């Protein structure tokens, strides 16, 4: 059976190919979540054109704040995007 690849391409904003760090950090200040991902693994899994905003939602699956009547209230973020150190 062929492995199905999730299409996270398209949309506005930075993509994995815009990130130059070998390790990409994902954190949430509300639930004290901190994870690191190897860039090359994410590229292999989702493609270099994966939009980081869509990838954030994918990596934060399971967060009860992600889907609600008010929309996305999840605080998960890529810190390097805010500091422009990607």
State pLDDT tens for residues 28-76.
887 788 889 999 999 999 999 999 888 888 887 777 666 666 656 677 8
Distance, in Å, from the CA atom of 82 to the CA atom of 65, rounded to the nearest integer, reads: 21
Cα angle: 18, vertex 28, 36; to 5 degrees: 50
Structure tokens at 58: 């994918």
Count how many domains the chain has: 1
Question: What is the model's pLDDT at position 26?
Answer: 87
Question: What is the model's pLDDT at position 84?
Answer: 60
3-state secondary structure of 43: helix
Residue 26 falls within a domain, yes or no?
yes
Residue 27 falls within a domain, yes or no?
yes
Domain that holds residue 27: 16-80
Q: Measure CA 26 to chain center.
A: 7
Residue 86 falls within a domain, yes or no?
no
């Amino acid at each position: 059976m062929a492995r199905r690849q999730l299409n996270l391409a398209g949309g506005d904003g930075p993509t994995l190919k815009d990130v130059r760090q070998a390790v990409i950090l994902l954190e949430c200040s509300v639930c004290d979540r901190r994870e690191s991902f190897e860039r090359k693994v994410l590229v292999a899994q989702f493609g270099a054109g994966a939009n980081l905003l869509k990838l954030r939602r994918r990596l934060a699956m399971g967060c009860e704040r992600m889907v609600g009547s008010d929309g996305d209230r999840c605080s998960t973020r890529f810190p390097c995007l805010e500091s422009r150190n990607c």
